Amino acid sequence: MPAPAALPIFEIRDAVVSCLHDPKVPNMLIKAPTGSGKSTQVPQFVLDAGILKDGQRCIVLQPRRIAARMLAQRVAKERGAKLGGEVGYQVRFDNVTSRDTRLIYVTEGVMLRLLMEDPELAKVGCIVIDEFHERHLDGDLVLAWAIALQRARRPDLKIIVMSATLTPGPLTEFMEPVELLESQGRTFPVQVRYQTPNRNARTNEIEPVWEQAARACEALAGELGSSGDILVFMPGAFEIRKTMMTLQGRSFAKGRRIVALHGELSPQDQDAAVTPGEQPKIIVSTNVAETSLTIEGVRAVVDAGLARIASYDPRRGINTLTIQKISRASAEQRAGRAGRLGPGIAVRLWAEREHIHRAESEAPEIQRLELGEALLALHVASDKAKLNIQWFERPAEAALGRAEGLLQDLGAIAQGKLTSIGMKMSAFPTHPRFARMLMAASENGCVREAALCAAMAQGRDILMVGKNNASHKNEDFWEPGDLTEFQALIRAFIRAEAMNFDPQACIPLNVHAMACREAARSYDQFLRLSQRAGLVINDEVASAESLAKTLLAAFSDHLGVETSSGSRIYRVAGGYSGNLAKDAHIKPPRLLVASEITEVQGKALTVQLNLVTKVEEEWLRELFPDDFNVGKRAQYDAVNRRVMNLEEVRFRSLVLSSREKGEPDHNTAATLLADEVIAGRLTLTLWNERVEQWITRVNCLAKWMPDLEIPPITEEDRRIIIEQVCHGATAYRQLKDKDVFPALHQWLSHAQRDLLESYAPERLNLKNGKSARIVYDEKQPPSVSVVLQQMYDVNENPKVASGRVTVTVHLLSPAQRPIQTTGDIGRFWKESYPAVRTQLRGRYPRHEWR
Ligand code: ADP
Ligand code: MG
């Protein structure tokens, strides 16, 4: 069956072929609507252009397994060849290729494996990245790798990026030299409608999404009659099953074929879904039908507006699939599926006013996912190929740092270099954490248990919160003496398995049957991976200790050290304080690892530790001998008000134990004591008003007479002076009554101190041979307070700073009460004094009143 030459992509075939032959333009960016023929035809253009050297292949990267398989099948059929011959595909657990295969459709995970095995891409002549707009992490990584390789030493490598929707600007720049090729294709207008869910009047419950979809289908079936297919988008297999069951019960659906389309179906069922038949169809599909697969004959689309999207789960430090609202761009693509044959209709199962609040498009995975697995792949490939990788969009430094830190803690890299453990880990197509776990399990003889733990750690919680005892969910499965909470989970899983994961039987046990069933599936996958990697799978039930050691290897970055015995409070990495979860049955051990860490809302740097496993320091030493260090650190002891010198045993940055040893270093002790003094927790008794005045005098003089070049004393300088005072002391009692002036005086040279005494003197000499203290202030003029009689014969205010600054005089009565403040005493005598005298003479008759 030859390709339908009428496909729009043939408009650009000549351009593609001439690019393929042009050594100056190694890259292409192809933009054409869904159904134009990108995925099935462009790889054939490559194949037929004769540019692949002997033994070289064209690899087409697909985001979805189902698309990889179906495209390969379609292309093989068009070429009249057997699948797995010239054209093949490879997805996880399914490899349909042979030595003759020259065109191979692969999924992203497989592509990473190929990259790690053959970092120079020696067997690849052309690499096609399809659906690039979805911006999967691996797609970004492969593009970055291929471009770097091409620039370094593979100028002959052809790179083609394809998408139905894409803003070419930054991408063409990144892929330079590149040819942008566009084909418009044919599309018809699609009328978009919005249908909001009903609410059950009695129960007030919202209509389930499958019933909403059935309602929309019913209306559409009436409009379309028997002339067109309806494509329904649902997020996953579960919702698809529910939708099909609902449709099958409705009379309007009689005479229509109802088919499912998603990655977990058998190949036969997948094929059946896209094969045209006699009857009109309702196809219920995941977002494989959004752009990856074109389904002929669709006139109307019903869109639930949801998809299973990978996102980062900070609780577990891994990426998981969660059901999320799709973006407006995705909704646009989905609606477009109805406009291939003629004008179409799209019904969105949400409100129009909600639509504008949806994201414009999905954020690239590289900006939001955990990068551990991708980074490990990159390390492996870089280790062999030594390439300078530039990202199309660089991930956030924090995310990169976190991933590097994790790989280091897992032992995959050391000093930025891949280790032999890391190399082995990379052979597992799973998150590096689980790879490490299975490897450790193999050594400890507990691969079976570890595979189950990995499955349960990765999936949903298999225990439900009981109605009455909300905080004790694993009570029934817990046994005294357990080392890890996973033991309870394993028991719960085994019970559920024995009951065939029957929900009715599981509910009374508070066990989530569906979650167990899902866990059983990933458990199998982990076992298969282990087998392929040559790990020994244990027949016997493993000991709790071997499982606990294994969990330690996988979660050593989540180590907690109890702050004090029985406190249930732990120090964890990153300066966090961790509380042992309330429902943890384990007797609080000194050391533990947590498989889940939840940030406590509203409390900075506080986390809750869930799914914990008791560990021994001895195991840590066995597993990570190089991660221990002994350090000395001075610390202020608030109880005894002194600085102690501690010798600490640390695991990475975490202090495991400490004891007092030796004398603290004097500089550090001074700094720590000064901190306490500045915070006001310790008082220097001799740091009094006179000291403050001395500082103010220095600062005033520095301001009044800059020519003297007296250095002012800032807040920061006070700190230095206080540290000076503290120097030599390690305890408050040595400090309490220490004289501060020696430290203070050091601030000025001898000559400067003399200048201070003459230009900003502490006291003012009065006519009668007595003296008065001058009060200095940085915000107002200096002042003296003097009994009026002592100022007789003085007609001018005293001055400081070589006559530049007038001293304000506060005149006092003989009983030291304030009478008047003046900056011009001559005027006071003339203007105010006569009245003052009259008034005061009566009150103080025995004093002199001139
Ligand atoms: P694109 O990648 O541009 O979306 P494809 O290359 O996937 O387009 O498909 C191009 C055309 O090939 C479709 O419009 C359809 O006519 C046909 N086609 C592709 N796959 C199949 C299939 N499995 N069965 C029938 N027709 C198919
Ligand atoms: Mg395609």
Measured CA to CA, the distance from residue 136 to residue 131 in angstroms comes to 9
H helices of 196-327, where? 209-224, 237-248, 267-274
Please state the atom number of ligand 1 nearest to the C-alpha of residue 32: 3
Query: Do the domain assignments include residue 672?
Result: no
CATH code at 33? 3.40.50.300
Tell me which of 362, 384, 416 is where a domain ends: 362
Give Rg (Cα) of the chain.
40
Q: Are 461 and 488 in contact (CB under 8 A)?
A: no
Using the Cα atoms of residue 223, residue 226, residue 229 and residue 234 in order, give the sign of their dihedral.
Answer: positive
Q: How many CB atoms lie within 10 A of CB 610?
A: 20
- Rounded to 5 degrees, φ, ψ at 658 are -150, 150
Strand, coil or helix: 787: strand
Please state the atom number of ligand 1 nearest to the C-alpha of residue 73: 23
Q: Give the per-residue pLDDT at 469.
A: 47
From the CA of 40, how far away is ligand 1's center (Å)? Answer: 6
From the CA of 37, how far away is ligand 1's center (Å)? Answer: 6
Q: What is the largest CA-CA distance in the chain?
A: 132
Claim to verify: residue 130 and residue 266 sit in the same structural domain: no
Q: Give the per-residue pLDDT at 116.
A: 85
From the CA of 320, how far away is ligand 1's center (Å)? Answer: 31
Measured CA to CA, the distance from residue 699 to residue 747 in angstroms comes to 12
pLDDT along the chain (850 residues), means of 10: 76 96 96 93 97 96 94 96 96 91 94 88 96 93 94 95 89 95 87 94 90 96 88 94 95 92 88 86 94 89 95 82 93 93 94 95 91 91 84 91 94 92 91 95 97 93 67 72 95 96 90 92 94 93 96 95 92 89 86 91 83 96 93 92 94 92 92 94 93 96 94 92 93 94 90 94 86 94 93 91 94 91 93 90 87
From the CA of 428, how far away is ligand 1's center (Å)? Answer: 34
Query: Do the domain assignments include residue 323?
Result: yes
Residue with tokens 């100028």: 155
The pTM is what?
0.76
Burial class (CB in 10 A: 0-12, 13-18, 19+), 766: middle
Claim to verify: residue 65 and residue 200 sit in the same structural domain: no
Query: Do the domain assignments include residue 742?
Result: no
Claim to verify: residue 603 and residue 464 sit in the same structural domain: yes
Tell me which of 127, 158, 182 is where a domain ends: 182
Q: Is 183 in the pocket of ligand 1 (CB under 6 A)?
A: no
Q: Is 36 in the pocket of ligand 1 (CB under 6 A)?
A: yes
Measured CA to CA, the distance from residue 820 to residue 817 in angstroms comes to 9
| Domain that residue 60 falls in | 4-182
Structural domains of the chain, count: 4
Query: Do the domain assignments include residue 687?
Result: no
Q: Is 12 in the pocket of ligand 1 (CB under 6 A)?
A: no
Residue nearest (by alpha carbon) to ligand 1 atom 13: 35
From the CA of 48, how far away is ligand 1's center (Å)? Answer: 19
Query: Do the domain assignments include residue 663?
Result: no
Tell me which of 576, 602, 623 is where a domain ends: 623
Q: Give the per-residue pLDDT at 471.
A: 44
Residue with tokens 């966090």: 576
Q: Give the per-residue pLDDT at 824.
A: 93
Claim to verify: residue 226 and residue 306 sit in the same structural domain: yes
Claim to verify: residue 354 and residue 336 sit in the same structural domain: yes
Q: Give the per-residue pLDDT at 1.
A: 60
Read off the tokens for 428. Answer: 């597992």
Claim to verify: residue 178 and residue 196 sit in the same structural domain: no
* Measured CA angle at 33 (ends 29, 35), to 5 deg: 115
Whose CA is closest to 462, among 518, 508, 415?
518
Claim to verify: residue 164 and residue 223 sit in the same structural domain: no
Q: Which of 10, 46, 268, 294 best tests ligand 1's pocket when mutated (most atoms within 8 Å of CB)? A: 294
Q: Give the per-residue pLDDT at 314.
A: 80
Bond before 8 cis per omega within 30 degrees? no
Q: Please report, for residues 128, 196, 369, 408, the alpha-carbon distance to residue 374 in angstroms, rounded to integers and kept in the order given.
A: 19, 40, 10, 14
Measured CA to CA, the distance from residue 698 to residue 713 in angstroms comes to 7
Read off the tokens for 465. Answer: 């919160």
Query: Do the domain assignments include residue 581?
Result: yes
Q: Is 39 in the pocket of ligand 1 (CB under 6 A)?
A: yes
Q: Are 549 and 619 in contact (CB under 8 A)?
A: yes
Residue nearest (by alpha carbon) to ligand 1 atom 20: 74
Claim to verify: residue 44 and residue 141 sit in the same structural domain: yes
Q: Give the per-residue pLDDT at 264.
A: 82
Claim to verify: residue 481 and residue 532 sit in the same structural domain: yes
Q: Are 809 and 799 in contact (CB under 8 A)?
A: no
Q: Is 274 in the pocket of ligand 1 (CB under 6 A)?
A: yes
Whose CA is closest to 792, among 826, 817, 819?
826
Measured CA to CA, the distance from residue 340 to residue 319 in angstroms comes to 36
Q: Please report, for residues 76, 84, 100, 158, the alpha-carbon distance to residue 97 in angstroms, rounded to integers and kept in the order given.
A: 12, 4, 8, 22
Claim to verify: residue 511 and residue 562 sit in the same structural domain: yes
Q: Please report, for residues 184, 305, 758, 818, the alpha-carbon distance to residue 701 in angstroms, rounded to integers and kept in the order given.
A: 81, 74, 11, 28
Read off the tokens for 250. Answer: 């409705």
In order, the DSSP letters of 442-454 are: HHHT-HHHHHHHH
SS3 labels along 813-833: CCCCCEEEEECCHHHHHHHHH
- Rounded to 5 degrees, φ, ψ at 614 are -75, 135
Claim to verify: residue 177 and residue 225 sit in the same structural domain: no
Query: Do the domain assignments include residue 615?
Result: yes
Residue with tokens 């499955």: 455
Claim to verify: residue 206 and residue 78 sit in the same structural domain: no
Query: Do the domain assignments include residue 69?
Result: yes
Q: Are 224 and 253 in contact (CB under 8 A)?
A: no
Element (H, E) at 105: strand 103-107
